[in-house]
């Protein structure tokens, strides 16, 4: 289905894109062919613990020879922090502002309001670079805004300045189709395809039906892919053990999403939106390959006279973990291609490695097919950064998911927390601007700094070009000067809860632990995302909880604390679930790190039984290879209430006082200005005009939804109560504090 960008959004986008940029300056920018192209590659849930080339990964690290080759020819930034989850991290890359300013505190889900999504009034990297003559495209995972609770819907990539988008607006893959396209019933095929003949309900061969009406007889390989895996890789569904028939059997179901093999693809070009149906072969096949193919096609079609920025936003290695095709694993990978199991902990760790290695293979193909690299006689990648005017930037969006964390990193403090394992990510920059390639930079870097790097490469002073405070500092000096001193004195990260209608939040999800019990988190956005992460959902639509709370369980539980309370009320001897914090904040200098966690917990004794608590932890940190000094359980140098224990080292008190001050000053950026929906620093007639248009044409969730009834929390409706807030604050000048860098 083709859709045109809504008129008001198109107009708003043009205004944002072309402010201070007339046709003459566009022509001048285009003529400056010395501006480098930018290839920006984002890896999903690949923390620094996965990276051998950074000195970590242990004996079970994924093999990434192509990314390693680029790292060897560029710079490894070994002290880079991102945000704890994907949407806030990606937003920080593209606008240079922490979640305290963008209000994107966790991975976006279908219930998150527009004022928890990237605002259409932000200045994004594509918008910024367009002023310097760049063309901009993104391939793969978007996950910055929409499609739910957003007037732009699937058009949001265009609103943020992308000339071309080919990927998934909502970001996350669908769940694995455990029927394998109707070959079995729900639960029969945990990997999403019919396994090999040696596995229960498997098959050595079968008829592979594709939605274009074709059928091919496929025979699996004993040492390679099962017939079912080969079939889904080709976009089809296998009828196991059968020959092709006309018409296809009624049991063959081509109308099911299937994680990495059938996805809700969206293509946007010059404002035209196409929602590709499941029956279209473009939406079928291995997702990492689709992302790479689309990027190759666009890059190869660019004119040499105009610079470009291509963001290849890989979905891998995000859950659900699903076996990639064997051809993408030259080393053989984990050998899990017969589809025997995709659920046990040991197996999914191997599959996660396979997915990361497949990403690396496709990244190498991307470089070779676009002419940015070649192959040596032995097949390894030959990357010469001076052979093209292209800067390559590779980053992990956040830390690794707990189940896949590599030793010695702490799996209990992984993705979703402000601890090192949750926010310490690999960053690689390579290109002709890099002096003395092969270097490692140990200075502190933040994901927000990438926004400034993109501006620096395009010759733009971002702090002058963007009319609101930024949290970024420059990175280009590190590329050009091997002796560059640290640009940062402070690093910061934060994760929390997104805003939902009437103060709602994601339902509780319990991830079982190997020793019994489990950890309750409210990061998974839906029941299916919880289950894709091997969790049990306690929100609306949960399964059977009789064994834990008795026959009178509630239809849903609002918080993890409420889950523990219900379990205790039924059985006071029950082991309570650990609870991840509602908000996790980290701040550090060169040696020390302070973590502040905010919890909602249940206590069987005292009143009230459910309480909010704030705890502080102070650590000494370094990035030593093989054995880094991490912020691990029991190592905090202070008490949870922030007091200094007797006998503490002399540095503890001053370090805590200093970092506490920095943290408090960073949190002041979260000060809201009621009525200032367009974040221009003043509540004025422009806000009333914007509210009026949205109220008239949309009326639902927007950045002008300030309150609900009786001045309660936002309710997902842009109505008269929000206009009251604007009128109440007219001519208020907002004080948006600068960053603490």
What does the pLDDT look like over 209-257, one tens digit per residue?
999 999 999 999 888 899 999 999 999 999 999 999 999 999 999 999 9
Whether residue 16 has pLDDT greater than 70: no
* Same-fold call for 2-173+266-321+365-486 versus 671-741: no
Band (pLDDT 50/70/90 cuts) for residue 34 is confident
Q: Alpha-carbon Rg of the chain, whole angstroms?
A: 25
Which pLDDT score is estimated for 14?
35
Question: How far is 644 from 297, CA to CA, in rounded Å?
Answer: 59
Task: Read off the pLDDT of residues 154-198 as tens digits, 9 standing for 90 and up.
Answer: 999 999 999 999 999 998 999 999 999 999 999 999 999 999 998
Which pLDDT score is estimated for 22?
37
Three-state secondary-structure class, residue 186: coil
Do the Cβ atoms of 262 and 174 come closer than 8 Å?
yes
Across the chain, mean pLDDT equals 93
| Architecture of the domain whose range is 671-741 | Orthogonal Bundle (1.10)
Question: How far is 517 from 520, CA to CA, in rounded Å?
Answer: 10
Task: Read off the pLDDT of residues 124-137 as tens digits, 9 standing for 90 and up.
Answer: 999 999 999 999 99
Element (H, E) at 418: none
Task: Read off the pLDDT of residues 613-661 as tens digits, 9 standing for 90 and up.
Answer: 999 999 999 999 999 999 999 999 999 999 999 999 999 999 999 999 9
Whether residue 260 has pLDDT greater than 90: yes
Question: How far is 317 from 401, CA to CA, in rounded Å?
Answer: 9
Question: How far is 143 from 318, CA to CA, in rounded Å?
Answer: 13
Question: Burial code of 503-516, b = ≥16 C-beta within 10 A, e = fewer?
Answer: ebbbbbbbbeeeee
Strand order in the sheet with 518-521: 536-537, 509-512, 518-521, 578-579
Band (pLDDT 50/70/90 cuts) for residue 10 is very low
* Cα 32 versus chain centre, distance: 33
Question: How far is 540 from 543, CA to CA, in rounded Å?
Answer: 9
Task: Read off the pLDDT of residues 597-610 as tens digits, 9 standing for 90 and up.
Answer: 999 999 999 889 99
Q: According to the CATH classification, is domain 2-173+266-321+365-486 in 3.40.50.300?
A: no
Beta bridge partners of 209: 215, 237
Whether residue 398 has pLDDT greater than 90: yes
**In the chain, where the domains are located:** 2-173+266-321+365-486, 176-256, 501-579, 671-741
* Cα 180 versus chain centre, distance: 27
Question: How far is 94 from 665, CA to CA, in rounded Å?
Answer: 23
């Amino acid at each position: 289905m083709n859709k045109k960008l809504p008129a008001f959004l198109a107009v708003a986008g043009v205004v944002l894109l072309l402010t201070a940029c007339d046709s003459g300056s566009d022509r001048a920018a285009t003529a400056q062919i010395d501006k480098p192209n930018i290839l920006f590659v984002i890896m999903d849930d690949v923390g620094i613990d996965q990276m051998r080339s950074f000195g970590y990964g242990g004996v079970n690290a994924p093999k990434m020879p192509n990314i390693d080759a680029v790292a060897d020819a560029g710079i490894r930034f070994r002290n880079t922090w991102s945000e704890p989850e994907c949407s806030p991290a990606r937003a920080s890359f593209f606008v240079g502002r922490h979640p305290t300013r963008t209000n994107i505190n966790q991975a976006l889900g279908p219930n998150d309001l527009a004022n928890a999504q990237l605002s259409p009034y932000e200045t994004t990297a594509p918008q910024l670079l367009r002023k310097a003559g760049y063309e901009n495209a993104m391939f793969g995972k978007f996950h910055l805004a929409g499609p739910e609770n957003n007037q732009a819907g699937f058009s949001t990539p265009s609103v943020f300045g992308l000339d071309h988008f080919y990927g998934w607006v909502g970001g996350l893959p669908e769940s694995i189709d455990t029927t394998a396209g109707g070959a079995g019933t729900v639960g029969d095929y945990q990997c999403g395809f019919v396994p090999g003949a040696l596995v229960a309900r498997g098959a050595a061969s079968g008829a592979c039906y594709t939605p274009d009406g074709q059928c091919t007889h496929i025979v699996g390989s004993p040492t390679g892919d099962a017939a079912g895996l080969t079939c889904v890789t080709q976009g089809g569904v296998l009828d196991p053990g059968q020959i092709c028939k006309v018409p296809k059997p009624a049991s063959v179901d081509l109308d099911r999403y299937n994680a990495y093999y059938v996805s809700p693809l969206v293509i946007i070009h010059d404002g035209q939106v196409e929602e590709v149906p499941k029956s279209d072969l473009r939406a079928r096949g291995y997702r990492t390959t689709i992302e790479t193919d689309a990027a190759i096609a666009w890059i190869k079609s660019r004119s040499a006279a105009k610079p470009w920025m291509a963001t290849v936003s890989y979905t891998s290695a995000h859950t659900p973990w699903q076996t990639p095709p064997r051809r993408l694993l030259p080393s053989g990978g984990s050998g899990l291609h017969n589809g025997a199991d995709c659920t046990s902990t040991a197996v999914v760790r191997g599959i996660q490695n396979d997915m990361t290695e497949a990403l690396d293979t496709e990244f190498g193909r991307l470089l070779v097919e676009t002419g940015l690299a070649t192959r040596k006689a032995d097949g390894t990648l030959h990357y010469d950064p001076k052979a093209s005017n292209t800067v390559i930037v590779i980053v992990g969006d956040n830390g690794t998911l707990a189940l896949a964390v590599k030793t010695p990193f702490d799996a209990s403090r992984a993705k979703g927390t402000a601890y090192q394992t949750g926010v310490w990510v690999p960053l690689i920059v390579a290109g002709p601007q890099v002096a003395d390639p092969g270097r490692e930079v140990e200075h502190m870097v933040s994901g927000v700094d990438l926004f400034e790097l993109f501006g620096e490469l395009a010759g733009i002073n971002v702090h002058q070009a963007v009319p609101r405070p930024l949290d970024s500092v420059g990175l280009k000096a590190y590329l050009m000067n091997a002796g560059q001193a640290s640009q940062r004195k402070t690093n910061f990260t934060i994760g929390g809860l997104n805003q939902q209608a009437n103060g709602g939040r994601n339902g509780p999800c319990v991830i079982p632990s190997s020793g019994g019990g489990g950890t309750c988190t409210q990061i998974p956005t839906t029941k299916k995302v919880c289950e894709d992460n091997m969790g049990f959902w306690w929100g609306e639509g949960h399964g059977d909880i009789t064994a834990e709370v008795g026959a009178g369980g509630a239809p849903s539980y609002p918080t993890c604390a409420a889950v523990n309370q219900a379990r205790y009320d039924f059985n006071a001897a029950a082991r309570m679930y650990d609870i991840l914090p509602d908000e996790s904040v980290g701040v550090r200098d060169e040696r020390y790190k302070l973590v502040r966690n905010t919890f909602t917990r249940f206590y069987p004794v005292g009143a009230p039984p459910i309480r909010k608590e704030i705890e502080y932890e102070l650590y000494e940190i370094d990035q030593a290879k093989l054995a880094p000094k991490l912020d691990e359980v029991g190592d905090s140098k202070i008490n949870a209430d922030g007091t200094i224990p007797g006998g503490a080292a002399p540095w503890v008190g001053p370090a805590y006082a200093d970092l506490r001050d920095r943290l408090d000053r960073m949190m002041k950026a979260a000060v809201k200005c009621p009525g200032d929906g367009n974040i221009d620093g003043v509540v004025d007639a422009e806000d009333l005009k914007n509210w009026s248009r949205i109220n008239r044409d949309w009326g639902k969730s927007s950045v002008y939804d300030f309150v609900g009834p009786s001045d309660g929390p936002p309710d997902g409706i842009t109505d008269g109560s929000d206009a009251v807030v604007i009128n109440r604050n007219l001519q208020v000048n907002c004080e948006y504090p600068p960053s603490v860098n």
